[in-house]
Chain A
Amino acid sequence: GAGVSQSPSNKVTEKGKDVELRCDPISGHTALYWYRQRLGQGLEFLIYFQGNSAPDKSGLPSDRFSAERTGESVSTLTIQRTQQEDSAVYLCASSLTGGAGTGELFFGEGSRLTVL
């Protein structure tokens, strides 16, 4: 594909509902990352997938957050029982390789989540 694609671009939900965010990485990129960006803040690491290795979930803020990736393609980030503090832009990025060879990250446009 031309770049990293994320959907939905905007999501408004009510507190307590579950949401699912999708990321299509650049074809051939083995590494995939999810970051959270609160308004006016930096990029907070959430989870990292590299090939078929077990994901690094060290950045997930609570057990309400989970993510999956099918092989080296699509990833979904799920937030259960959403809270107002979950409101943020969720950015997905992919890179050609991970590990010691990690180079440029290519970001998607992000999914803006608003929890009312």
Chain B
Amino acid sequence: GENVEQHPSTLSVQEGDSAVIKCTYSDSASNYFPWYKQELGKRPQLIIDIRSNVGEKKDQRIAVTLNKTAKHFSLHITETQPEDSAVYFCAHRGGSYIPTFGRGTSLIVHP
């Protein structure tokens, strides 16, 4: 199947702390793993993505790691800021080529 499990559903941190969101998938054909951020009342927007030929990708305070053997990938946000507060969705593209999304993680960063 192409389901993706995302945890936690809610994550509350203090400003400056790190946040980690994890996703697991089952489709061994998956080769593209994007992360989207959805602010309240706004559209989801891509923040970072990784393809299966690399294990880690970093963009300033955001990084994504991929373990293809274990079939899981994670989003890491360092030095969190209040504007990082949003819902984050992991997704993957499997054999059907249709991006499948996780249920989302609501990140709350307390000033």
Contacts and interface: CB of A to CB of B under 8 A. Distances in A.
B43 A107 contact: yes
Contact of A107 (B45, B93, B96, B100): B45
B43 A45 contact: no
A43 interface: yes
Nearest to B44: A107
A110 B43 contact: yes
Judged by DSSP, the binding face of B is strand
B89 interface: yes
Contacts of A51: none
Contacts, number: 50
B20 interface: no
Contacts of A35: 101
Contact of B104 (A42, A102, A104, A105): A42
Interface string B96-108: 1111111110000
B79 to A, nearest CB: 25
Interface in A18-68: 33, 35, 41-43, 45, 48, 56, 58-59
Contacts of A105: 34, 36, 44, 46, 99
Nearest to B104: A42
Contacts of B98: 33, 45, 48, 56, 59, 102
Interface in A68-106: 91, 98-100, 102-105
A102 B49 contact: no
Nearest to B98: A48
B44 A43 contact: yes
A31 B87 CA distance: 25
Contacts of A99: 97
B32 A102 contact: yes
Given A91-B44, A104-B34, 4 more contacts: A33-B99, A43-B89, A105-B36, A107-B44
Interface of B: 6, 32, 34, 36, 42-46, 49, 89, 93, 96-104
